[in-house]
Amino acid sequence: MSDQDPVESERPKPIQRRVVTQHSVVRFTVLRAAPRCPVFHPGDLFFVRQHVLDTETSISKNFCYHTIFDLYEVYGRVRQGPVGGKEVFKCRDKEMVTFEVERMPDEEASIGRAEVKVTGCDRVKKPSEPPGAE
Protein backbone atom coordinates (compact mmCIF):
# COMPACT_ATOMS: atom_id res chain seq x y z
CA MET A 1 0.00 0.00 0.00
CA SER A 2 1.32 3.44 -0.90
CA ASP A 3 1.81 6.30 1.56
CA GLN A 4 0.42 8.71 -1.08
CA ASP A 5 -3.04 10.14 -0.68
CA PRO A 6 -5.17 8.22 -3.23
CA VAL A 7 -7.05 11.40 -4.20
CA GLU A 8 -3.75 13.24 -4.82
CA SER A 9 -2.36 10.46 -7.04
CA GLU A 10 -5.52 10.40 -9.20
CA ARG A 11 -5.33 14.11 -10.07
CA PRO A 12 -4.20 14.76 -13.62
CA LYS A 13 -0.75 16.24 -14.04
CA PRO A 14 -0.68 19.80 -15.43
CA ILE A 15 0.22 20.09 -19.10
CA GLN A 16 3.57 21.76 -19.60
CA ARG A 17 3.34 24.44 -22.29
CA ARG A 18 7.05 25.25 -22.57
CA VAL A 19 9.97 22.88 -22.87
CA VAL A 20 13.51 24.18 -22.45
CA THR A 21 15.99 22.45 -24.69
CA GLN A 22 19.20 23.01 -26.65
CA HIS A 23 19.08 23.85 -30.32
CA SER A 24 21.66 24.30 -33.01
CA VAL A 25 22.65 27.65 -34.47
CA VAL A 26 24.04 28.11 -37.97
CA ARG A 27 25.53 31.43 -39.12
CA PHE A 28 25.61 32.49 -42.76
CA THR A 29 28.20 35.14 -43.71
CA VAL A 30 28.42 36.77 -47.14
CA LEU A 31 32.11 36.58 -48.06
CA ARG A 32 31.76 38.04 -51.54
CA ALA A 33 28.90 39.63 -53.46
CA ALA A 34 29.03 40.96 -56.99
CA PRO A 35 27.96 44.62 -57.28
CA ARG A 36 25.05 43.55 -59.50
CA CYS A 37 23.53 41.39 -56.71
CA PRO A 38 20.44 43.31 -55.55
CA VAL A 39 20.14 41.54 -52.18
CA PHE A 40 23.44 40.70 -50.47
CA HIS A 41 26.55 42.71 -49.62
CA PRO A 42 29.93 41.50 -48.31
CA GLY A 43 29.74 41.11 -44.52
CA ASP A 44 26.00 40.47 -44.36
CA LEU A 45 25.08 37.94 -41.67
CA PHE A 46 22.01 35.88 -40.95
CA PHE A 47 21.28 33.01 -38.60
CA VAL A 48 19.10 29.93 -38.45
CA ARG A 49 18.13 29.04 -34.87
CA GLN A 50 15.90 26.10 -34.03
CA HIS A 51 15.18 25.62 -37.77
CA VAL A 52 13.90 29.22 -38.06
CA LEU A 53 15.45 32.02 -40.11
CA ASP A 54 16.15 34.59 -37.38
CA THR A 55 15.39 37.94 -38.98
CA GLU A 56 15.55 39.77 -35.62
CA THR A 57 19.35 39.43 -35.30
CA SER A 58 20.26 39.28 -38.98
CA ILE A 59 21.96 42.12 -40.79
CA SER A 60 20.14 41.07 -43.96
CA LYS A 61 16.46 41.96 -43.97
CA ASN A 62 15.73 40.78 -47.52
CA PHE A 63 16.51 37.29 -48.77
CA CYS A 64 16.82 35.86 -52.25
CA TYR A 65 14.39 32.96 -52.53
CA HIS A 66 16.76 30.95 -54.75
CA THR A 67 19.55 31.37 -52.23
CA ILE A 68 17.42 30.21 -49.32
CA PHE A 69 16.41 27.15 -51.34
CA ASP A 70 20.02 26.35 -52.28
CA LEU A 71 21.36 26.94 -48.76
CA TYR A 72 18.97 24.41 -47.21
CA GLU A 73 21.09 21.38 -48.14
CA VAL A 74 24.31 23.05 -46.95
CA TYR A 75 22.56 24.11 -43.73
CA GLY A 76 21.56 20.50 -43.04
CA ARG A 77 25.11 19.20 -43.43
CA VAL A 78 26.70 21.97 -41.35
CA ARG A 79 24.05 21.80 -38.60
CA GLN A 80 24.76 18.11 -38.05
CA GLY A 81 28.52 18.65 -37.97
CA PRO A 82 30.76 19.75 -35.09
CA VAL A 83 30.68 23.26 -33.61
CA GLY A 84 33.03 25.39 -35.69
CA GLY A 85 32.50 23.25 -38.79
CA LYS A 86 32.25 25.35 -41.96
CA GLU A 87 31.36 25.04 -45.60
CA VAL A 88 31.64 27.60 -48.42
CA PHE A 89 28.81 27.86 -50.91
CA LYS A 90 28.30 29.90 -54.10
CA CYS A 91 24.85 30.92 -55.27
CA ARG A 92 23.40 29.46 -58.46
CA ASP A 93 22.93 32.85 -60.15
CA LYS A 94 26.31 33.04 -61.92
CA GLU A 95 28.00 32.57 -58.51
CA MET A 96 27.40 36.24 -57.70
CA VAL A 97 27.49 35.57 -53.94
CA THR A 98 29.79 33.39 -51.84
CA PHE A 99 28.59 32.34 -48.39
CA GLU A 100 30.41 30.83 -45.45
CA VAL A 101 28.08 28.57 -43.47
CA GLU A 102 29.29 27.86 -39.91
CA ARG A 103 27.95 25.74 -37.05
CA MET A 104 27.87 27.85 -33.90
CA PRO A 105 27.59 26.62 -30.26
CA ASP A 106 24.15 25.38 -29.23
CA GLU A 107 21.82 27.78 -27.44
CA GLU A 108 19.10 27.18 -24.89
CA ALA A 109 15.61 27.64 -26.28
CA SER A 110 12.03 27.60 -25.13
CA ILE A 111 9.71 25.66 -27.35
CA GLY A 112 6.01 26.40 -27.29
CA ARG A 113 3.79 29.42 -27.44
CA ALA A 114 3.66 31.97 -24.66
CA GLU A 115 0.18 32.15 -23.21
CA VAL A 116 -1.00 34.68 -20.66
CA LYS A 117 -4.27 34.60 -18.73
CA VAL A 118 -6.13 37.87 -19.16
CA THR A 119 -7.24 39.19 -15.76
CA GLY A 120 -10.95 38.78 -15.17
CA CYS A 121 -11.40 36.61 -18.23
CA ASP A 122 -11.40 32.87 -18.86
CA ARG A 123 -9.84 33.03 -22.28
CA VAL A 124 -6.14 33.03 -23.12
CA LYS A 125 -4.54 36.12 -24.67
CA LYS A 126 -2.23 35.52 -27.61
CA PRO A 127 1.13 37.37 -27.56
CA SER A 128 0.17 39.35 -30.70
CA GLU A 129 -2.94 40.87 -29.11
CA PRO A 130 -2.64 44.39 -27.68
CA PRO A 131 -2.96 44.83 -23.89
CA GLY A 132 -6.58 44.90 -22.77
CA ALA A 133 -7.87 42.96 -25.79
CA GLU A 134 -10.83 40.81 -24.80
Across the chain, which has 134 residues, the per-10-residue mean pLDDT values are 59 59 87 93 90 83 84 91 94 91 86 41 44 50
The whole-number pLDDT of residue 22 equals 73
Question: Rounded distance, CA 88 to CA 15, Å?
Answer: 44
- Other Cβ atoms less than 10 A from the Cβ of 40: the count is 24
Q: What does DSSP say about strands 52-54 and 97-111: parallel, antiparallel, or unpaired?
A: unpaired
